[in-house]
A and B are shown apart, each in its own frame.
Chain A
Amino acid sequence: MNSFADVWFSNQGWTAHAFQKKTWSAMAKGRSGLLNAPTGYGKTMAIWFGVLHHYYIQRKVKKGKDTRKLHCLWITPLRALSSEIHSATTLVSDDLALDYQIGLRTGDTSTKIRQAQKKKPPQALVTTPESVHILLAGKGYTEYFSDLEFVVVDEWHELMGSKRGVLIELALSRLKALNPKLKIWGISATIGNLEEAQDILLGPENSGVMIKSAIKKKLQIETLLPEVLEKFPWAGHLGVHMAETVIPIIEKSQSTLLFTNTRSQAEIWYRQLLELKPDWAGAIALHHGSLSNEIRMWVEAALHEGSLKAVICTSSLDLGVDFRPVDTVVQIGSPKGIARFLQRAGRSGHQPGALSRIYFLPTHSLEIMEGASLKFAVKEGMMERRIPYIRSFDVLIQYLVTLAISEGFKAEETYNEVKNTHCFSSITQDEFNECLLMITKGGRSLGAYDEFHKVVSEEGVFKVTSRRIAHRHLLNIGTIVSDAMIQVKFMSGKYLGTIEEWFISKLKPGDTFWFSGRNLELVMVREMQAIVRSSSGKKGAVPSWMGGRLPLSADLGVALRHSMDVIHNPVKLKSPELQFLSPLFEKQRELSALPAEGTLLIENIQTKYGFHLFVYPFEGKFVHEGMAAVIAFRLSKIKPATFSIATNEYGFELLSDSPIPVEEALELGLFSTDDLVSDIRLGINTTEMARRRFRDIASIAGLVFQGYPGKPIKTRHLQANSALFFSVFEDYDPGNLLLRQAYDEVMDFQLESARMYAAFVRISTHAINLTFPSRLTPFSFPIFAESFRERYSNEDWQTRLGKLKDRLEK
């Protein structure tokens, strides 16, 4: 069937899985497709031998011709995964003494190697979506890719839900135009919309095959319960008070991964564990995305060898790479999604047939319930969908400039290619022309002579002629936007990693902070570097990184609602988590009431902070954000007001400085579906969500120049923040495509307006249970304690400032 695979598998003493054989056969027939199989079962080899087989069959056919060109492009979301794929595939070529060479090209690859890869391409290149676009920005790319036969997109489910997925769609649209026979293969973990994932990747004209492995991984989930409920906090997300319970687990396991949701939480846990077990120094390690490459590679190598007892990590170790010695996983705090939880569980027990073991460690009382919900969701096979981005004009603008740098593009041709992608299937000629106008004339509405200069059209070919602009664009390619980063270095020059600028700016020389698991003293800040020395102190701030917060997925929300219903049914109350929590539920009942199926609980509470309204729809954080804005809008129609809004997985809070007319509002239909669509629109326009969304859009479209981490570039004369751009666009070009995109993204991704509508429909049939508790309840407290808040107001800026002024003058 596949002679290379037969030899290699028998050399290894392995037998091929059915899904591998199916893949080889489909690839031999020249098909494209999507492969869905759990990690650790040879997904890579299923595709790889298909690629090799094709190459050598074809070479036999075109005997004699041997000018080597790129044959296969393998795209992964992570550098770590790229190097893993690179070594695995290189090993096959070595084992079988093949002349098929594999190159690695990521952000870390040296210029020298890049040039060599360009001059004499290897047969296959393992790379990232950003690097593919950098290749498209290089002169001669059409020739470079002219013999390309395969594009393999690894972990496609991960890329699809982000704008990096749009980068892939656009790159594929170009590569398909160069090579109409191009075969595309995706590798994806299980998600709720696998078929859509396949359609988007392969494109409308490409009917591919879907290959699913029948292998089911065995999974064991256990929730770690605190000793007594009474001493367990009602809110909080760190969970360090539970650190002692994981010690016996680490001790009895060969190697344990502890996943946290944020980098700062990982730092804090690392320190806490060492405080409890000082003799573990050297046996446990820390791994997160802000640590230097050197440190991360060291940790990964040590994990492979099995020389580490435990690693505290973040999503930096979520994907791909297999660490065979790992037999236990601990999830600290809510995993926020079923797919992520399973992916992390799958990090343990990598040997085929082994049991994946995961412990869920809740960080506050109500989160214990999530343990029960996760088990339910896994049992029912619930799985989130990944929502692809559509109409991402920021990425399109970036892509057009990318093409203009290298060989230029023709409007008509590129429009047709782009229109064929899922992301831009609904783009109109007018919208495309507006994008062109933005890069050639800097927008539509301009009179008189203007000096805008970016892309010029020479005989119908759009090109960048300025080297400076080309250079700056190259540094800006990609869709991952981060704050300005400061490099943390020792006096000796040893590089530890990066911290966001705002954190360092709060410190004075001599202050200490925790980073990379060490206590460091700030010596000085020089340009974009913070020079530090080791400190023996125990005190110090822990940096936090923006963008670390994930909302709970809607599916986990459904599972939570199920758990909530179970509480009311004592006969079914077998779950240890829910049993454990019953005193807390009792307390809630005593102070207010328990949320129940068919009714919506609303709590109206007054504290020294003001007047609170807590509502519990159990719809997940995204939907709650939108509902809260709509409810705030409807309340403020009765009486102008300003609300601070907090949300969590269970419900939301509106906080006002004056009493909230909730009873009157309920009579007028606070949760009614009448005028809902317009109320959503009106409610959202006045929030600042779009302004925040615009930050990424402005950066991707090249309005805000960031430079690269580690390559700070002097751009003082070109600095302006995105908020400024947002206001100027609103004032002088309100119809701007990028501005509209910001509002659309808010509707589709932040608020999930379709899901929100369904929630309103559901609630409109419910009875309302309005209570007036004397103080915060077990359910309201975690929402109250959320530090991140939205603001809603229909009082104009003047009134609000007036109020503030009055208070200040009093």
Chain B
Amino acid sequence: MDFYYKEELIQLLPEKVAFLPEHQILVVADLHLGKASHFRKEGIMIPLPEISPDLQRMDELIMSLKPTTVVFLGDLFHSSLNKEWEGLKGFLLCHPAIRFILTKGNHDILAASVMDDTSIEVVDEFEVGKYLLFTHEPEAIVEEDKLNIVGHIHPGVLIKAKGRQSFRLPCFHYHNQCLILPAFGQLTGLHILKKAAGAKIYPVFSDEVIALP
């Protein structure tokens, strides 16, 4: 699905990421890596595969899209340091040529010194071109003309279909100069958004993103 803001093209992909072909930027929201380990540390049993399926999916995306920059829209790492951190470090080392940027989120509570140890640049916000502003949470006030691209919400939509069936799907959500990305991490839930007047909703199907009328 191609989404235009002014002259900027933003591709909304069914992998639950956005890609900016002009800038070669891959945008990913809410990975919540380390969540399974965090649970296990607290005595909550959840199976933990040897290699994070989320990072595997990231690898595949990088292979096919070949971005020069990857922007994580916050909540990259869930809670405190644990075993899965090593997995992330390994992943970063595999992609030395790529610039990684993290717009800091509420779950990113790792100490600065830990983050300094990686190739990730941690920022509060990140600007691209004339119009695009990346943050973790939606900004209260967005400058006229600008588009705020955010994560944090884990947006989802409930679609009712014939035969009294209903589907809960992750979605991209655009409203009032703000584009919200779906959460990328597997261990994340959905927050079903109410349809606001003027909002555009883009549900994510397994092979395609479409626009709801």
Contacts and interface: CB of A to CB of B under 8 A. Distances in A.
Interface of A: 438-439, 442-443, 445-455, 466, 468-469, 472, 609-610, 642-644, 655-657, 702-703, 705, 717-718, 720-721, 724-725, 728-729, 731-733, 736, 789, 791, 797-798, 800-805, 807-809
Contacts of B43: 442, 452-455, 466, 469, 472, 702
A717 B109 CA distance: 11
12 contacts: A443-B47, A450-B48, A452-B40, A453-B42, A643-B163, A717-B38, A717-B79, A718-B44, A720-B39, A728-B47, A729-B47, A800-B165
A791 B159 CA distance: 15
Interface of B: 35-50, 78-79, 82-83, 107, 159, 161-165, 167, 186-187, 189, 205-208, 210, 212-213
A724 B187 contact: yes
Contact of A452 (B35, B41, B49, B212): B41
A294 B156 CA distance: 40
A340 to B, nearest CB: 30
Contacts of B35: 720
Contacts of B78: 717
Contact of B167 (A446, A733, A804): A804
B9 to A, nearest CB: 21
Nearest to A734: B47
A725 B46 contact: yes
Of the candidates B44, B189, B212, the one having the most CB atoms from chain A within 10 angstroms of its own CB is: B44
A448 B84 CA distance: 12
A809 B203 CA distance: 12
B210 A808 contact: yes
A448 B50 contact: yes
Nearest to A444: B47
B14 to A, nearest CB: 11
Given A442-B45, A451-B37, A720-B39, 4 more contacts: A453-B41, A736-B47, A798-B206, A801-B206
Contacts of B44: 702-703, 705, 718
A805 B50 contact: no
A657 B163 CA distance: 5
**Most B CB within 10 A of own CB, among A455, A643, A729, A801:** A801
A703 B163 CA distance: 35
Nearest to B106: A716
Contact of A703 (B46, B161, B167): B46
Contacts of B82: 451
B83 A450 contact: yes
A789 B164 contact: yes
B90 to A, nearest CB: 14
Given A448-B50, A450-B40, A720 B208 contact: no
Contacts of A655: 163-164
A468 B43 CA distance: 10
B146 to A, nearest CB: 29
Contacts of B162: 609-610, 657, 807
A484 to B, nearest CB: 13
B160 to A, nearest CB: 10
Given A642-B165, A717-B78, A443 B45 contact: yes
Given A644-B163, A801-B167, A804-B161, A728 B45 contact: no
Nearest to A658: B163
B77 to A, nearest CB: 12
B187 A718 contact: no
B106 to A, nearest CB: 9
In the A-B complex, the 6 residue pairs with the smallest Cβ-Cβ separation, listed nearest first, are: A454-B43, A732-B47, A442-B45, A657-B163, A452-B40, A733-B47
B19 to A, nearest CB: 21
B164 A449 contact: no
Contacts of A656: 163
- Majority secondary structure, B binding face: loop
Q: Which of B159, B161, B187 has the most CB of A within 10 A?
A: B161
Contacts of A804: 159, 161, 167
A442 B40 contact: yes
Contacts of A807: 161-162
Nearest to B84: A451
Contacts of B167: 800-801, 804
A438 B37 CA distance: 15
Nearest to A611: B163
Given A728-B187, A801-B206, A718 B47 contact: no
A791 B162 CA distance: 12
B188 to A, nearest CB: 8
A370 to B, nearest CB: 26
A610 B165 CA distance: 11
Contacts of A800: 165, 167
Nearest to A612: B163
Contacts of B36: 728
A443 B35 CA distance: 17
Contacts of B189: 720-721, 724
Nearest to B208: A805
A579 B151 CA distance: 64
A729 B186 CA distance: 13
B38 to A, nearest CB: 7
A729 B167 CA distance: 22
A614 to B, nearest CB: 15
Contact of B45 (A610, A703, A789, A791): A703
Contact of B83 (A439, A449, A657, A718): A449
A451 B210 CA distance: 41
B47 A469 contact: no
A809 B208 CA distance: 12
Contacts of B163: 609-610, 642-644, 655-657
B107 A717 contact: yes
Contacts of B213: 808
Given A469-B42, A610-B163, A705-B44, A447 B210 contact: no
Contacts of A453: 40-43
Nearest to B53: A731
Contacts of B83: 449-451
Nearest to B107: A717
A639 to B, nearest CB: 14
Contacts of A724: 187, 189
A731 B187 CA distance: 12
Contacts of B159: 804, 808
B165 A644 contact: yes
A802 B161 CA distance: 12
Nearest to B78: A717
B105 to A, nearest CB: 13
Nearest to A723: B189
A53 B186 CA distance: 63
Given A469-B42, A801-B167, A804-B159, A720 B47 contact: no
Given A448-B50, A451-B41, A805-B205, A609 B187 contact: no
A164 to B, nearest CB: 23
A798 B206 CA distance: 7
Nearest to B163: A657
Contacts of A802: 205
B165 A801 contact: no
Contacts of A721: 189
Contacts of A451: 37, 40-41, 82-83
B206 to A, nearest CB: 6
Nearest to B38: A717
A643 to B, nearest CB: 7
Contacts of A642: 163, 165
A452 B45 contact: yes
A804 B161 CA distance: 7
Contacts of B38: 717-718
A728 B208 CA distance: 24
Nearest to A442: B45
A807 B162 CA distance: 9
Nearest to A720: B187
A439 B43 CA distance: 8
Contacts of A717: 38, 78-79, 107
Contacts of A439: 45
Name the residue in A445, A468, A720, A809 with the highest tally of chain B Cβ atoms < 10 Å from its Cβ. Answer: A720
